[in-house]
Amino acid sequence: MIACLEQRFLPESEAVSGSSGDDATRDDEEDLALLRTLELQGSLEFPSPSCPPPPAARDFGGVYQLRPAAVVRPASAEDVAAVVRLAARSPRLTVAVRGNGHSIYGQAMAAGGVILEMRPSLSGMELVPGRAPGDHPAVRAGGGALWEDVLHWCVEEHGLAPRSWTDYLGLTVGGTLSVGGISGQAFRYGPQSCNVLELEVVTGGGDTVVCSESHNPDLFFAALGGLGQFGVITRATIPLQPAPDMVRWVRVVYSDFGEYAGDAEWLVSRAAAEAGDEFDYVEGFAFVNGDDPVNGWDSVPLEPGQRFDAARIPPGSGPVLYCLEVGLHYTLRDHLDAIGKRVLGMLGRLRHVRGLEFAADVSYRGFLLRVKRAEAAAKASGIWDSAPHPWLNLFVAKADVADFDGRVFKHILHRGVGGPMLVYPLLKSK
């Protein structure tokens, strides 16, 4: 979860220092004494400086390690509000919110401050009626609920699902709503932060406020994508729609970036929708034109029996190739032959390299949990938990993306980065 009320980006050795050793010690003791006055429904822990740093001192990025003075596991929004109000009484005490620890550069840490561990207590879910007659129900989920748990609960219990996702679902509801939440459905529905009916937010003043587009709208829109700077999201109400049963998952390869970008832009356009060529999911990535085990040809096939035939790559292709990834939802009532013909027709107008097409039929949940399977493999090899994970997300204007490809993908990153290099279109209107 990438959310914090105040952040210090300092090495741990610097972050805990004060104007003098005696002053720093006295300040720390005053803050600890203040924290001990908290009356919580949840738990309060003071990690010992003589023990290894707690999990709250690390994040997925693995770049920073910042030891907190205290870790609070709130049982309710009232607990969160109590911590925020108490921190406001100290000129030094900072508060950071940690969902599943998936920030990259220490955003969910607080050196010498307080970590609010939103999991597992603030992760409950309930189904609520739609707002208007005929509307589908919505799910009201705690800010600490994982999206993968939302997926399982909504689909298994109710046959419903949120409209917009992230690629990796081991993230909290409050975390992704605080930063946006983008995946291959965003071209149609917008990011996750645009698919929210109502929020419960603890503000920087320690007030618990329910907000929506029509009620306290300033706070509602500030909290969504607000990086936690306007409050802590403790609960969110997410609209649902009927969940499909299956996904026809397809990848096709390009050697020319202009053709790749043009086709991807067509697929997310209104013209494609009007022509009946609209997939339910559109993403893509750049990969190394070679046998690199992580970023090379073998990163494209979807199933073990599929083989990337490098002989089909056009002569003179550059050091980087591109893979357009699409998905089409369907139900078990649909005929596979009809689905296959529809997909082939939609792919027919694209300019990808013929013979480098890969397809698989997977369950809807299996498709959405595809990165979870990659995570399991990475954990088994040890690289998921032990290696740093630097990460960068950029929005590049259409007018500049060809230049970006030439300067960044084809030159700086032409040997890959040891991980995915995603590149796909989003609509500004969403």
Closest CA to 235 of 139, 169, 161, 159: 139
Of 28, 167, 292, 361, the catalytic one is: 167
Per residue in 71-83, is it b (16+ CB within 10 Å) or e — as a string?
bbbbebbbbbbbb
Per residue in 247-268, is it b (16+ CB within 10 Å) or e — as a string?
bbbbbbbbbbbebbbebbbbbb
Distance of CA 131 to the CA centre of its chain: 27
Grouping H, G, I as helix, E, B as strand and the rest as coil, residue 211 is: strand
Closest CA to 346 of 331, 335, 334, 357: 357
Of 283, 329, 352, 405, the catalytic one is: 283
283 catalytically annotated: yes
414 catalytically annotated: no
- Tell me how far apart the alpha carbons of residues 156 and 200 are, in angstroms, rounded to a whole number: 26
148 catalytically annotated: no
The set of residues, in sequence order, having a beta carbon less than 8 Å from that of 235 and lying 6+ positions away, is 77, 122, 140, 141, 142, 143, 199, 200
Of 27, 31, 59, 102, the catalytic one is: 102
Token output for 302: 């979807």
- Tell me how far apart the alpha carbons of residues 346 and 326 are, in angstroms, rounded to a whole number: 11
Residue 375, judged by CB atoms within 10 A of its CB (0-12, 13-18, 19+), counts as middle
Catalytically active residues, by annotation = 102, 167, 283
